[in-house]
Amino acid sequence: MRLDRKEDVPRVIAEFVAFKGPAFLEVLIDPDAGVYPMVGPGQGYDAMITGDFIAARHEVQIEPPGPSEMF
């Protein structure tokens, strides 16, 4: 199931939760939204970005992904 319109959130979530059996929900968001915590492309969980309101366990140096790590 795909959720891509804000006005559909209540209906889609209710249908998703009520579904009997395994399910997958794809939620599309604004690509510029700051949704935290986040793991960047090609990064491991130890490089998790926590944002302004979640305390980080340690300082993270963000390394840009190489060409083969983009997808």
26 backbone dihedrals φ, ψ, rounded to 5° = -95, 120
pLDDT in the model for residue 71: 56
Residue 32 pLDDT:
81
Write out the DSSP string of 6-28: GGGHHHHHHHHHH-SS----EE-
The answer to whether 42 touches 65, Cβ cutoff 8 Å, is yes
Q: What does the pLDDT look like over 28-71, one tens digit per residue? A: 988 788 788 888 778 888 878 887 777 766 676 767 777 776 55
CA distance 8 to 63: 36
Tell whether pTM > 0.75. Answer: no
The confidence score (pLDDT) of residue 67 equals: 73
- Segments making up each domain of the chain, as ranges: 1-31, 34-65
Do 2 and 29 touch, CB atoms closer than 8 A?
no
